Structure 1
């Protein structure tokens, strides 16, 4: 789980040089006044704090003028091929370089000759607009090139069916809604936690809405497909479901907003829960056990991997302009290359396999991700055996359960009926035996009508009871 911004701010005092501590605090105030996101501030501060710790206590940020001083720190992120065979360290190296450049550009363009921070944007002698910032020559360091565009391996990416498989093991409808929204919206964690009830409009079989403008890339249209039944079911239990301005994904008890980091906790807790269920033997189906073990072993259990996987899956069937609109990128963004170039795509892969006779068209048919009730047409989540509205069976297992239940019911009725018939037969045989016994004792009664004989029998029984 990421370190909180408050924790990072408290770590500023761990920088050995006191002047550097002051500069980092001023840098934080600048970022805060620029309305940057908490995550952006947090990541920049963590990088500069690490750099400050790396420097000798006597070296101030203001005295750094050589590329070698920065490169020496960046090279501490290099790992050998045994530890990091995929060379992921290059991504870290380049990321740290970008953040250090930003810090020193701020330092060299916002400090006056006296070394004081200028916050007066109307003072022409001191203030320099960000658009006019100049980059010091010692910051002209090239990024390291890598052929690895994606931060995740192909085997680490999720499929939509995988996400829908794991969410059924979460106990809370809120968490199910949040995780499926990450996929449906190609969303960053904060885009999900920013959503309010008024941002979602549920139709009969799908939902639509928009991301709040406060998000990193601003507002944009969204469509709820596989997440639709999960969001609908969660809204029925939402503590403030009648308040349009309430957060959609909120604290279950109080309804208060939750942080984006909470979604990391949700995924980690779900991962631990599935491990516990496997260890306890609560999951019985052999294929399900194998699938869960595979997902635990190979996938990255974090919200950003869900987003990356969803965008990669969307790139299989959406043209680039449509992908940018769905993911809320600008039209001149080059982010799409990270998802398109490195992936063959299911459609192309299936065409090749079909051409070589490995699969047929029947095998290519995709499994439904939601279940429509044939009786009331309600859209149900896939794991529902019965319709949540009219209780109509939706799966073959549900029909089998109904048949078994009816079979047990008929067997119980048959047993009760057989017992009653047996008791009645025994009672009649006993009465007949009594009548024959009376006739044998009194032969004259053989010519008496049965009705009179029955009266005599009852009177005899009464006398026996009295005596």
Structure 2
């Protein structure tokens, strides 16, 4: 959602213009007046990271305070501490710890403003209660078994309904960009080069620049060939194709799309956008230096080990054998080569066009893409010829028998 849309949502809150399928309680004039004053203060307040507070943060704060005002049905200055506690313990029951903690931060900051307090750890009595202190959510534990394999990713790609979905899945697996980075991409964010493409990140949590893509490059190429607004460089790269057609996909839209694809593929694993970072960083651990792996993903070297890598004991044992000169058998060499080539682009043997891994026929010349496909096609044709000959022989037999019966 753009800043202009966030501004429109803020306007709806401050004018009781929110419409919903559920019953919405309008705020009183006094409540609206207080929220308007807080909005003017908050949007001009310096951000903790420098600069101004984001419009989205202003909207989220006002949505939280609107819920509190609608629940208590009182001017904010007349709300009592026990009512705020009840709001969090009863009204928000069932919400995640992260959501409740985020709302507590908003409410405590709001009452600090109302009471003119500026010191970092000082709070007015109304919110100075242990039950209103935000709790840090426990980090999600991810094991090596939670990571998706190449075969599972191929299964996801084969169930995708559109070239755009294939591009999203392939980028998710290959480089694991952040949800917000998906949403910042435009048509001109992709630059194709020999052997892959550069994906320029418009808005990044750490630093702007480009990331290299090899596996995902053919899928991006196929998507851009049919993108409804491919001639507009500033059009969003990933868009709604049904409802909200042409609108930029938001973080939740990317996440829900991945969940739907996994469900259709029949994979029984939990998926979310950020998991792609664990997969990518773990896959490249050992192939790149720790520093290069960290720089590629916009994190610090210590974060690579402490947060993201999920190498298995089996992988560590294999690495130990490899560095100490163990010689692979012929079967092991073939299997290792096949695994290494999975998801890598295929070059057409006829015209040289680079195609995605899941293609057997070239998107440019429509011929078999490689020798295995050509041989397989030859085998199919040979089998069809044998079956045709058998059918003809059977037909001739029936005709001869029919003629003999007529003669007799």
TM over 0.5: yes
User: How far off its partner does 1:201 sit?
Assistant: 0.9
Residue 36 (1) aligns with residue 54 (2):
yes
Rounded Cα–Cα distance in structure 1 between residues aligned with 2:336 and 2:388: 46
Task: Give CA deviations for 1:307-347 in whole Å, capped at 9, x if unaligned.
Answer: 55445545565555434433334x5995863224x654874
Partner of 2:120: 134
Tell me which of 159, 166, 173 is aligned to 1:176.
166
Query: Cα 1:230–1:139, aligned 2, differ >3 Å: closer, same or farther?
Result: farther
What TM-score do the two structures reach when normalised by structure 1? 0.58
User: How far off its partner does 1:247 sit?
Assistant: 2.4
What TM-score do the two structures reach when normalised by structure 2? 0.65
Residue 348 (1) aligns with residue 323 (2):
no
Q: Unpaired segments of 5 or more residues in structure 2?
A: 45-51, 396-408
Task: Give CA deviations for 1:337-379 in whole Å, capped at 9, x if unaligned.
Answer: 3224x65487425447989x9x986465533122423624433
Partner of 2:254: 263
Query: Cα 1:345–1:315, aligned 2, differ >3 Å: closer, same or farther?
Result: farther
- 8 Å CA contact 2:199–2:211 kept in 1: the answer is yes
- 8 Å CA contact 1:251–1:258 kept in 2: the answer is yes
| CA radius of gyration, larger in | 1
Moved more, 218-227 or 303-312: 303-312
- 8 Å CA contact 1:385–1:398 kept in 2: the answer is no
Task: Give CA deviations for 1:401-460 in whole Å, capped at 9, x if unaligned.
Answer: 3332256458879999xx9xxxxxxxxxxxxxxxxxxxxxxxxxxxxxxxxxxxxxxxxx
Partner of 2:270: 300
- 8 Å CA contact 2:236–2:247 kept in 1: the answer is yes
Aligned length: 355
Rounded Cα–Cα distance in structure 2 between residues aligned with 1:314 and 1:62: 57
Residue 237 (1) aligns with residue 235 (2):
no
Tell me which of 202, 218, 221 is aligned to 2:192.
202
Residue 383 (1) aligns with residue 383 (2):
no
User: How far off its partner does 1:177 sit?
Assistant: 1.3
Rounded Cα–Cα distance in structure 2 between residues aligned with 1:311 and 1:28: 40
Secondary structure of 2:159's counterpart equals coil
User: How far off its partner does 1:161 sit?
Assistant: 4.0
After superposition, the CA RMSD in angstroms is 4.9
- 8 Å CA contact 2:104–2:133 kept in 1: the answer is no
Residue 73 (1) aligns with residue 88 (2):
yes
1:3-402 aligned at under 5 Å gives the runs: 6=9, 10=18, 14=25, 23=34, 27=38, 34-36=52-54, 38=56, 40=57, 44=61, 48=65, 57=73, 60=76, 73=88, 92-93=96-97, 96-109=100-113, 111=114, 134-137=120-123, 138=128, 149-150=139-140, 152=142, 154-213=144-203, 215-217=204-206, 219-252=208-241, 256-260=246-250, 261-271=252-262, 274=264, 292-293=265-266, 295=267, 297=268, 299-314=269-284, 318-329=288-299, 331=300, 337-340=306-309, 344=312, 347-348=315-316, 350-351=318-319, 362=333, 366-368=339-341, 369-373=343-347, 375=349, 376-390=351-365, 391-394=367-370, 396=372, 399-402=375-378
Rounded Cα–Cα distance in structure 2 between residues aligned with 1:347 and 1:35: 45
User: How far off its partner does 1:180 sit?
Assistant: 1.9
- 8 Å CA contact 2:198–2:212 kept in 1: the answer is yes
